[in-house]
Amino acid sequence: MDQTSNTIRTVHITVTNGYDLKGFKGDTPVTFVRAEFNQAFLGDSSKILVSPEGTAKYNFTSNIDLSPDGGITLDDLAHKPLFLTVTEVLPKEKKQKDEKTLTLGQAVVDLLPLLEGEESFETTVPLHPVQGSPLETPLPGSKQCSLDVKVFVAEPLLTPAQVSASNLLKVTLEAAYSVPESFMPVGPQQNYMVGLQVPSVGEKDYIMIFKNGNLKLGGEKEPVPRPKKWPIANILAPGANNIPDAFIVGGPYEEEEGELNHPEDREFRNQAECTKKRIVWDLESRCFLHPTAVSSLQKRIADCRLWPVEITRVPMIVMPKAKPGKLEKTEDENQLSFHGVAYVNMVPLLYPGVKRIRGAFHVYPYLDGTVFEKTKCLFSLFRDTGHHLIHNNKAGGLNSPLSKPLSKNLKEERLGKEKDIEGRPRLGELQAPSIKSQSSDTPLESEAPLSHNLEGQQYIEAGTYIVLEIQLDKALVPKRMPEELARRVKEMIPPRPPLTRRTGGAQKAVSDYHTQIKGISRAILTEYHRMFGKQGTKLESDIDNETMEEQKCQLNYELNCSGKYFAFKEQLKAIPDDVPSSTSTIQTSSNQLRLFAFEAEVNENFEMAAVYYEERLVREPQNLENWLDYGAFCLLTEDNIKAQECFRKALSLNESHIHSLLLCGVLAVLLENYEQAEIFFEDATCLEPTNVIAWTLLGLFYEIQNNDIRMEMAFHEAFKQLQARTLQTKLKSSATIENNEEGVKVEPSFGPWGVTQESSTAIKSEGLSGIRPRSSHLLSPRLTMDLHSQPQGPNTALSSLDEFLEESPKAQSESQEPIITVQPRESSLAQKSSNVLLKELTTKKETSKCQDSSAFFSPTHYDTPQPPVTIFMETIRFLMKVNAVQFVHRVLAHELLCPQGGPSCEYYLVLAQTHLLRKDFAKTEEYLQQAAQMDYLNPNVWGVKGHLYFLSGNHAEAKECYERTISFVVDASEMHFIFLRLGHIYLEEKEYENAKRTYMQACKRSPSCLTWLGLGIACYRLEELTEAEDALSEANALNNCNAEVWAYLALVCLKVGRQLEAEQAYKYTIKLKLKDQALLEEIHSVQEMVGFGNPSF
């Protein structure tokens, strides 16, 4: 390579001491040290007598002169070591003219530290004994013999800037496995060689040749770790062949970058590397890259992704002495044999932070056209440019620049050979246009057929592959450090300050609550004394019930007329009712609100959905899931600014939350803040390198930026992580691994994060059936919500459903106490109604337990999707959960083209769902038909099809699809809305029994105001007024702002003759602005029929 300076600089090497030495003729021999570098003699030390302790003080200095003009270069220092040979001088015998010498051992000094900017370094190198040397058997108690060496230069060979901009390329050729059977260890010796080219400065390329591979028979695997060897000829001591501190360590096949790294290749590679023939080199060659060469390397990799690595063999022929002309002729007559080529994908070296690629690469026959098509290489190392090197049959390897560049005529000759038929490019990763004759528009004849390289064809038949490693000292493309990414994220999104700690805490809040109650009680008692005197309280035992009831009515009247009742009530409302609540209680309430919000989303009541989401934020502002859910809702309504704000608030609560980072990145892309998006996505991959979705989204981002190389890098890493996870899943039980790898619990898709199907108050609260006592709906809407919000945590809800399914009817009727009883005389009726509805809900308990509830607790195939076969489908599922539909179509295009993907039922189903959101019913139906053709028994297909017909107004078809969906053994992912809409259709068609049964299933699975309302309507139409009132009371407890619930409660009260409650329910119906005019007219009709219920009468 080119020098960094035109001046001659000198490297000084001083051998100071030798230790644990002994000779052939005794333990105190006379020895000297010889220094050699680049096959050149540097000098001999003085002859030194070794002490009885085995020590010799040489103090010998030799020099290496570095010259840019044809002398020793920096690259020579990189890949050639300094050899120090210790030789014993034997005593002269009688009549002996010359001294006899015997070599004791050889030491190797690696001069690489000089290229790392060091001015000097000291090292103790082992002295490796030659065969037959007395050093092979060290003295008892002594260590291995060694030499102390100092290396120094007057000034650094490279400045800090040059060290930073330059690089060092190391190529390790390990072995070729599963070589053709015609390779035999007996017979004429063969020199097995491998070569490749590395871009240099100017027009020249740097050539690396690995020679003298060792052909071995199968039988055992090559040991690891094993040392790497110098590619240097004529090393005297066997141990000196090994490069210090450099080992081949191997590794799992799946972590390699080559072509045989898939699980299906494991068996073949194990067999090839254990039992079949192989050629072993274990050589490491180095190449110093000047800053200009580093740029050339990057450009070459970007232009030619695949690099050819040639392999061949030539006979080991001892050429007799002859005239130069005859020797030249003999070389020309020799032909290459078994000329093959492996195509190494060098692109990973352009990935950020990547310094090393190692893998196995198939060997193919060397064919000019194919090589040019894939690599744009015009010549062969062995045949065209390095033919004279093939016949240099010295032992070891060869590393040197070309003596002269490729001539223009040779280039034109090669171009003339690389022809192809116009319009029919060959298959390959890189397509090259056909090359025509310069004198005609007609293409020349195509390349010779494959049969012309029959020897090379044997590589394919045998399945030959080579294993090599390419390593750089510094990554070509720097990677941001995790600390920098975390700092950048923190700068964009500062962490939220912690909430101010309240000094009193929960205990003080409870104490204040009790004090307030006592104060109001005293005020009411004072009012009672004012009206009836203090004597009345003393004679309480003597007052009959009728007198007490009369005083109570008078007191209530006075409090209402004076306004004191309202004032007392407002004081109570100001007291936080959730102070004694536990964390689990708040969580269940949040899940209920999430379900209600999603119901409003699906019904396109976005205003009500926003109310529920904001209520969750008010209750738990530190819960990042609440912010993520609200952000996903804002994405659905295309309010990207608010969505970004929500996701960033979630990230400020936990800077290491992967999904928050990914969603911030998605929003940054949508808002075209690409620099921020890259920071978010990169930070996610650093925090969780095994996250498939993070890598895939990073790849999609690079695709938008037209950065093909980094896109390929991200997709490759995502695929590798998915492959590793799939392998792990096969080794373990799929039940424990599935859906937990990404940290997200995938459940029926109620929304972005899979809301748990909590049983709410429908399972446990106030009686195991969950039915509120009658009269609870008589409270005002806000007060009812405050007093009745008794949520439980997820575990409580699940255990409650177990009780609901298992406990006896006796246990089911134990704990039913009304909260407020306006009409105590009818409490028995309320008790009866609860038991009746509970009995219907638990009909056929055993089958219900095996079907409905089992689907609730252990989601089946479609409730919990199977692990996706591609990285893109997994990403699509994530994006659909968070309503990032803008990204979905881009990912679907990749899924369509992915070798492991392609059109599938899920692919068409996602397409249908995206078009359904846009109300493009024609396209939705088209894609659903395609999905049904691929998987006719997929309940999700029929469920979405039912939604399509329902939204388009074809309720007859929707009913048929919904009925088919619920008839499957496995459940669809949105059973909640399938039950709701099917029940709605049944009510429309006056199939009230079917409606009742459908809504009861919905109440059991995921109760909400709408499920209980539907059940109440069905029971009312069936004249089952008690059951209707219980269901409507439960609906009212979950949402006391639903006008339709109050309307049907008014109808029920009118039918059973409760005037006061009927009027109150009607009042709230009007106050909440009932929109169903037909229902309002029905109420008026019943009011006229019974003669009460409307306060305006």
pLDDT tens digit sequence for 1038-1050:
888 899 999 999 9
Residue 887 has what pLDDT?
Answer: 86
H or E element in which residue 101 lies: strand 101-109
What are the angstrom distances between the C-alpha of 431 and each of 371, 414, 651, 887? Answer: 11, 18, 45, 30
Non-local (6+) Cβ contacts of 732 within 8 A are: none
Residue 538 has what pLDDT?
Answer: 56
Residue 39 has what pLDDT?
Answer: 85
- Contact of 308 with 340, CB cutoff 8 Å: no
Per-residue pLDDT averaged across 146-155, rounded? Answer: 93
Non-local (6+) Cβ contacts of 92 within 8 A are: 99, 100
Residue 381 has what pLDDT?
Answer: 85
Give Cα 434 to chain centroid, integer Å: 41
- Coil vs helix vs strand at 225: coil
User: How far is Cα 92 from Cα 462, in angstroms, rounded to an integer?
Assistant: 60
Residue 487 has what pLDDT?
Answer: 86
User: How far is Cα 972 from Cα 981, in angstroms, rounded to an integer?
Assistant: 14
Length of the chain: 1097
Confidence grade of residue 167 (pLDDT, cut at 50, 70, 90): very high
**450 has a pLDDT exceeding 70:** no
Residue 805 has what pLDDT?
Answer: 28
Residue 1018 has what pLDDT?
Answer: 95
Residue 541 has what pLDDT?
Answer: 57
CB atoms closer than 10 angstroms to residue 205:
20
Residue 838 has what pLDDT?
Answer: 38
Question: 478: cis peptide before it, omega within 30°?
Answer: no
pLDDT digits (tens, 9 = 90+) for 241-277: 999 889 999 888 888 888 988 888 889 999 999 999 9
**620 has a pLDDT exceeding 50:** yes
**307 has a pLDDT exceeding 70:** yes
3-state SS, one letter per residue, for 1058-1073: CHHHHHHHHHHHHHCC
Residue 52 has what pLDDT?
Answer: 87
Q: Which of 263-272, 414-423, 885-894 has the lowest mean pLDDT?
A: 414-423
- Contact of 79 with 399, CB cutoff 8 Å: yes
Residue 552 has what pLDDT?
Answer: 84
8-state DSSP, 238 = G
Q: State the amino acid at position 801 in one-letter form.
A: L
Q: State the amino acid at position 1049 in one-letter form.
A: L
Kind of pairing between the strands at 337-345 and 306-315: antiparallel
Q: List beta partners, residue 315.
A: 190
User: How far is Cα 591 from Cα 585, in angstroms, rounded to an integer?
Assistant: 10
What are the angstrom distances between the C-alpha of 708 and each of 665, 712, 715, 769? Answer: 19, 6, 10, 60
User: How far is Cα 834 from Cα 848, in angstroms, rounded to an integer?
Assistant: 19
What angle do the packed helices 1077-1090 and 1043-1056 form, to 10 degrees?
Answer: 20
Compute and round to an integer the Cα radius of gyration of the chain. 43
What are the angstrom distances between the C-alpha of 146 and each of 27, 56, 86, 132, 940? Answer: 16, 10, 10, 18, 75
Reported pTM: 0.70
**498 has a pLDDT exceeding 90:** no
Q: State the amino acid at position 291 in one-letter form.
A: P
What are the angstrom distances between the C-alpha of 1055 and each of 1019, 1024, 1033? Answer: 13, 11, 16
Q: Which of 312-316, 764-768, 813-817, 1074-1078 has the lowest mean pLDDT?
A: 764-768
User: How far is Cα 1074 from Cα 1014, in angstroms, rounded to an integer?
Assistant: 16
Burial class of residue 919 in the structure, from the number of CB atoms within 10 Å of its CB (0-12 exposed, 13-18 middle, 19+ buried): exposed
pLDDT digits (tens, 9 = 90+) for 138-150: 766 677 899 999 9
Residue 168 has what pLDDT?
Answer: 92
pLDDT digits (tens, 9 = 90+) for 424-442: 333 333 333 322 333 333 3
User: How far is Cα 84 from Cα 39, in angstroms, rounded to an integer?
Assistant: 12
